[in-house]
Amino acid sequence: MKSNRCPNSAALFDRAKHVLPGGVSRNTLLHGDHPLYVDHGKGCKVVDVDGVERIDFANNVAAHIHGHAYQPIVEAVTRQLQNGSAFTMATEVEVQFAEHICSRSTNFDKLRFVNSGTEAVMAGMKAARAYTGRPKIAKVEGSYHGAYDYAEVSQAPKPENWGDPDHPNAIALAQGTPPAVLEDMVIIPFNDPEKAIAVLDKHKDQLACIIIDPIPHRIGMVPVDTEFVKAIHKWTRANGSLLMFDEVITFRTEYGGMQDRFDVSPDLTSLGKMIGGGFPVGALAGRSDVMDVFTYGEKGLRLPHSGTFSANPVTMTAGLVSMEHFNEEAVTRLNKLGDYARASLGEAIKAADVPASIAGTGSLLRIHLKASAPRNYREAHMSATEQQALTAMITTLYDEGIMMIHTGAAVLSTPMGNNEIDKLAEAVFKSLLAVRPLVLDS
C-alpha cells in the first residue's frame, strides 16, 4: 500500500525494519510500500490501524474457516487458558480432537499433531522414508508444501532452469540448498499421468513417497484430475511406495477432505491451517501400520518425534470447536457459496471484457489474468507484465474494501453470504477495468 493512504501502518513498518529483517516475519505480508497492520477482526471483516474496514477473503491464507473472533472458540479458549496453556503432560482434549479428525475419514486410522502444515509435511516425508527404507520423494512441479528443504524443491522454477516439460529439473528455492537435497527429490508434471509415470519409473526402487496437493494453489488452484490420482495411486501399489495427500488447505473442501472425491485411499495426509481454529497447528494422519513408525516396535523406534507445543490444549480446544462446527451441513453451504462466487466473478470478467479466468472448487477460488485457467505450473507462470497487472489489481481491491491473497486467490468463511460475494464481484469488476490496459499488453 502507499504510505500516504495508511500513515499508521507506514509508521509501524518504519519501526519494524529496525528489528525485523525486511520488517516482517513472513514475506507474504509485504505488499506495496509497506504491509497493513491490523487493529481487530470480527466475523469476515478486519479493520486496520488506520480505521479502514475490509471484507477478508484471505483468511490468513486459508487458516480461518469461521472468520475472526468466532465466539464459541473465544469462549472455549478463554476457559482453557484459565487452566493453563501448555504442559509436559498429555491432555484429554488432544484425544478428543484426534478422535474427531479420525472420524471424518476412513483413511485416518491414527494421527499425530504438530504445529504447522510445514511440520506435518516434514513428518509425512520422514515417516514414508522410515516405513519404506527408501530415500527419495516425488512431488508435482510448482506445488507448495511448506518451508522444508525437500518440500521447497521446484516450488518456483523459472523458464530458464525448469528444463524439459516431460522430465522437469529439480530446482532449489533457497540459495545454499545442499545438492544432495535435489538428488533425493523427483519432479513430475501435473495432471499428465503418462508423462508422470515415465519419470517415476526411473526411480521406482528408491521412491518412498509421492506427495500430491489435490488443489495446488501455486499451480493455479486447478483441481487434480481423477485419472491422474488413480494412475499415481496404482503406481505406488505396484512399486512399494506410499501416496501422501497434502490437504493443509484443501481439507475444507469436503467433510473428510478433498480425498472424499476420489476412489483412492492415500497412505498419509498432512493437515493444518483451518483445523486449528485460528491457532498454529498441523497434523499427520494415515494408515495405522505407517503411523506406527512413531512408536517402539520390532524394529525399534524408527522415527523419534516430539515438539514442545505439539497438541497444546489451547490449539486442541480451538481446533475441536472449529471442526465440530464445520459439519457436513456447513461444508455443503460454503461450497455452494463458492459456486456462486465463481459464477459471479465469471460474470464480472465478462462484463469487464478482460482476458481473465476463474479456477478453484469448493470454498477456494483464484483469479487468473489469462483467458483460460492454467493446466499446470508452466501455464500458470506469469510474465513480468502479468505480475504487474495482478499486483495492481490486488491493490485496487484493497482500496475497494476487499482483502485477497496476493496470488489472486480467495478463500471463503462461514460468516459470509451472498452479500459479501456480490461486493467481491463488484470490486473485481472495478479492479479489472483499472488494470485492463496492462492485461491486454501482457
**Contact, 274 vs 63, CB < 8 A?**
yes
**Contact, 257 vs 105, CB < 8 A?**
yes
What number is the average pLDDT over the span 80-100? 97
pLDDT of residue 298: 84
Query: How far apart (Å, rounded) are the C-alpha atoms in residues 329 and 402?
Result: 27
pLDDT of residue 4: 67
pLDDT of residue 1: 65
Treating both helix axes as pointing N-terminal to C-terminal, what angle do 193-201 and 226-239 enclose, rounded to 10 degrees?
20
**Which letter does DSSP use for residue 43 in this model?**
B
List the single range of 6-15, 286-295, 334-343 with lowest mean pLDDT: 6-15
CATH 3.90.1150.10 fits 37-65+328-441, yes or no: yes
pLDDT of residue 26: 86
pLDDT of residue 355: 95
**Contact, 272 vs 65, CB < 8 A?**
no
Q: What percent of the chain has pLDDT over 90?
A: 93
**Contact, 152 vs 138, CB < 8 A?**
no
With a cut of 80, say whether residue 420 has pLDDT above it. Answer: yes
Reported confidence tier of residue 45, pLDDT bands at 50, 70, 90: very high
The ranges assigned to domains in the chain are 37-65+328-441, 71-325
What number is the average pLDDT over the span 217-225? 95
Active-site residue flag, 39: no
pLDDT per residue as tens digits for the range 307-365: 999 999 999 999 999 999 999 999 999 999 999 999 999 999 999 999 999 999 999 99
Burial class (CB in 10 A: 0-12, 13-18, 19+), 31: middle
List the single range of 1-15, 230-244, 281-295, 397-411 with lowest mean pLDDT: 1-15
Residue tagged active-site, from 136, 139, 273, 370: 273
* Type of residue numbered 306: S
With a cut of 90, say whether residue 426 has pLDDT above it. Answer: yes
Query: What angle (nearest 5°) sits at the alpha carbon of residue 218, between those of residues 409 and 201?
Result: 150
What number is the average pLDDT over the span 222-247? 98
With a cut of 90, say whether residue 5 has pLDDT above it. Answer: no
Reported confidence tier of residue 442, pLDDT bands at 50, 70, 90: low
Reported confidence tier of residue 29, pLDDT bands at 50, 70, 90: confident
**Contact, 210 vs 232, CB < 8 A?**
yes
pLDDT of residue 137: 98
pTM of the model: 0.95
**Contact, 111 vs 360, CB < 8 A?**
no
pLDDT per residue as tens digits for the range 130-168: 999 999 999 999 999 999 999 999 999 999 999 999 999
End-to-end C-alpha distance for the chain, whole angstroms: 23
Q: What percent of the chain has pLDDT over 70?
A: 99
- Using alpha carbons, list the distances in angstroms from residue 321 to 42, 351, 360, 400: 17, 41, 27, 33
Which CATH architecture is the domain 71-325 placed in?
Answer: 3-Layer(aba) Sandwich (3.40)
The alpha carbon dihedral of 138, 144, 147, 149 has a sign of positive
With a cut of 90, say whether residue 27 has pLDDT above it. Answer: no
Active-site residue flag, 144: yes
**Which residues in 141-178 are b (16+ Cβ under 10 Å) and which e?**
bbbbbbbbbbbbbbbebeeeebbeeeebebbbeeeeee
pLDDT of residue 297: 85
Placement of cell 506406527 in the chain: 292
Residue tagged active-site, from 70, 131, 144, 150: 144
Active-site residue flag, 246: yes
Residue tagged active-site, from 56, 246, 267, 292: 246
pLDDT of residue 193: 97
Helix (H, G, I), strand (E, B), or coil: what is residue 426?
A: helix
The alpha carbon dihedral of 265, 271, 276, 281 has a sign of positive
Selected residue with higher pLDDT from 44 and 6: 44
What number is the average pLDDT over the span 16-36? 87
Q: What is the mean pLDDT of the chain?
A: 96
Sheet holding 38-42, edge to edge: 38-42, 45-48, 53-56, 402-403
Neighbours of 3 (CB within 10 A): 14
Helix (H, G, I), strand (E, B), or coil: what is residue 307?
A: coil
In 141-206, at which residue ranges do the beta strands (DSSP E only) sit? 185-188
Query: How far apart (Å, rounded) are the C-alpha atoms in residues 16 and 203?
Result: 47
What number is the average pLDDT over the span 94-102? 98
Helix or strand run (H / E) with residue 47: strand 45-48
The string of DSSP letters for 324-377 reads: HHS-HHHHHHHHHHHHHHHHHHHHHHHHHT-S-EEEEETTEEEEESSSS--SSH
What number is the average pLDDT over the span 109-125? 98
Sheet holding 185-188, edge to edge: 110-114, 282-286, 268-272, 242-246, 207-212, 136-140, 185-188
pLDDT per residue as tens digits for the range 170-195: 999 999 999 999 999 999 999 999 99
User: Half-sphere exposure (CA, 13 Å, Cβ side) for 87?
Assistant: 13
